[in-house]
Structure 1
Amino acid sequence: MAEIDCLDSSFEWIDLDFVERERTPQFAIQVGIQLHIAGLSLSNTKQYLDTLGVERSRTAIHNWVQKADLQPDSTASPDQIAVDETVIQVNDQRRWLFAAVDPQTNEFLHVRLFQTRNAGTTMLFLDELRDKQQVDDAEFLVDNAGSLKAALDRLGLRFRVEKHGNRNSIERVFREVKRRTSSFSNTFSNAAMATAESWLQTFAVWWNRCQS
């Protein structure tokens, strides 16, 4: 499903607590965030807002996405969780994207971006996942990555090595993330790690909406 197909007039998922003296109407900020995350480049999002009589820069739209600080949130207690990591390019640098996905719904449960992949970052990701979700009774689906298996074993969490089946859900998610991050040169151009991670977490919120 293309994310642009998920566009609607509902903006309750976009918290505008960060807005203080913003001169832009709140509905325009919400539309701008939704359009950019749904697939429009910053330039095209700016052009659309212009048609609404709201003239703001690409930088302003980018800042709205960052300041909204959206995070994937779920109250589900999945029986299985697909966990994996993949490399993406951020400002011509290789960075590691860690993600946990509910294979029954294809929804993100947690997503983080790290400079490297090692035992420490893997443990940190899983600890944060446990803090956010009810996962202790879930079965984790992993590939043959030694760091993931070692970390899950150390935490006393059940896991199973699976290359296909329900674990395909996270592969589909990663393919879409890579498509999106490579589509727009202005998404991660000259981007700091925190900026890229914030965009990815906001994208995860939008992706989850598209699955419902």
Structure 2
Amino acid sequence: MPENARLIGSIDQIDVEFVEREATPELLMKLGIQLHLTGLSLSNIVSILEVFGVKRARSTVHNRVHKADLQPEAGQSPDHVAVDETVIRLNGQQYWLYAAVDPETNELLHTELESTTTTVLAQSFLATVREKHDVEDAVFLVNGASSLQTACSRHGLDFSYEKRGNRNSVERIFREVKRRTSSFSNSFSHAEPETADNWLRSFAFAWNQLI
């Protein structure tokens, strides 16, 4: 599918009903949200909106991204699920990003940001994945993270240790997340963990639309 068709389809799925008494045309609000999630800085988005005669502060665009409450679509039925965790830095502190990916489509199924990594949190993460998607018959691909292996076992999920191969999909996504959070510091600058968690779910939504 052409890139512009996927971009338009993604814009159509963004709901901006949360905005009240807003003079900005709905299409431009959606465009600003989409452009930020696909990699454009807030400053550049403000400049683009000005071309259409709309002047808005960077904070306005930033707030719209988070209030849109975007996240990956539920109800997927993957044959395999690659799961992993990686460290994300937020205001100088370490947080752990859990992610589940369908390696056949490279789509993100679910993300969660936690202040630490434990087997209990890994179990909670997998419980949410099971609630959102039909994964009872899927094979979960895990690396050396003992917490995820133990969590899969306790959930009675079929899992396989795989260092590379199909697990490359989740590694590519983690690299992109880290590139984005380091290049566009205004995404996480002085952000609360809840705000960062929301941004990551929004990123997952945009990622799925454009891959």
Query: So what's the TM-score if we normalise by structure 2?
Result: 0.94
In 2, Cα distance between the equivalents of 1:72 and 1:38?
A: 15
In 2, Cα distance between the equivalents of 1:81 and 1:8?
A: 26
Identity within the alignment, % = 53
Instruction: Provide the secondary structure at the position in 1 that maps to 2:185.
Output: coil
In 2, Cα distance between the equivalents of 1:5 and 1:27?
A: 15
Is the Cα contact below 8 Å between 1:139 and 1:159 reproduced in 2?
yes
Who is 1:132 aligned against?
A: 132
In 2, Cα distance between the equivalents of 1:36 and 1:96?
A: 23
Q: What pairs with 1:132-211 in structure 2 (closer than 5 Å)? A: 132-211=132-211
The one-letter code sitting in structure 2 at the alignment partner of 1:202 is S
**Closer, same or farther: CA 134–7 of 1 in aligned 2, 3 Å:** closer
CA-CA distance at 1:74 after TM superposition = 4.2
Is the Cα contact below 8 Å between 1:66 and 1:198 reproduced in 2?
yes
The one-letter code sitting in structure 1 at the alignment partner of 2:188 is F
In 2, Cα distance between the equivalents of 1:31 and 1:172?
A: 25
Is 1:13 the counterpart of 2:13? The answer is: yes
Who is 1:38 aligned against?
A: 38
Is 1:106 the counterpart of 2:106? The answer is: yes
CA-CA distance at 1:164 after TM superposition = 0.9
Unaligned runs of 5+ in 1: none
Is the Cα contact below 8 Å between 1:7 and 1:34 reproduced in 2?
no
Instruction: Provide the secondary structure at the position in 2 that maps to 1:203.
Output: helix
Is the Cα contact below 8 Å between 1:7 and 1:38 reproduced in 2?
no
In 2, Cα distance between the equivalents of 1:146 and 1:9?
A: 41
Is the Cα contact below 8 Å between 1:33 and 1:64 reproduced in 2?
yes
In 1, Cα distance between the equivalents of 2:145 and 2:4?
A: 35
CA-CA distance at 1:60 after TM superposition = 0.3
Is the Cα contact below 8 Å between 1:80 and 1:102 reproduced in 2?
yes
Instruction: Provide the secondary structure at the position in 1 that maps to 2:144.
Output: coil
In 1, Cα distance between the equivalents of 2:131 and 2:6?
A: 31
Is the Cα contact below 8 Å between 2:6 and 2:209 reproduced in 1?
no
CA-CA distance at 1:146 after TM superposition = 0.8
Q: How many residues align?
A: 208
**Closer, same or farther: CA 171–67 of 1 in aligned 2, 3 Å:** same
CA-CA distance at 1:76 after TM superposition = 2.6
Instruction: Provide the secondary structure at the position in 2 that maps to 1:9.
Output: helix
Is the Cα contact below 8 Å between 1:98 and 1:112 reproduced in 2?
yes
Instruction: Provide the secondary structure at the position in 1 that maps to 2:53.
Output: coil
Who is 1:66 aligned against?
A: 66
Is the Cα contact below 8 Å between 2:7 and 2:210 reproduced in 1?
no
CA RMSD of aligned residues (A): 1.5
User: Structure 1 stretches (4+) deviating beyond 6 angstroms?
Assistant: 4-7
Is 1:23 the counterpart of 2:45? The answer is: no
Q: Deviations over 1:165-184 (max 9, x none)?
A: 11111111111111111111
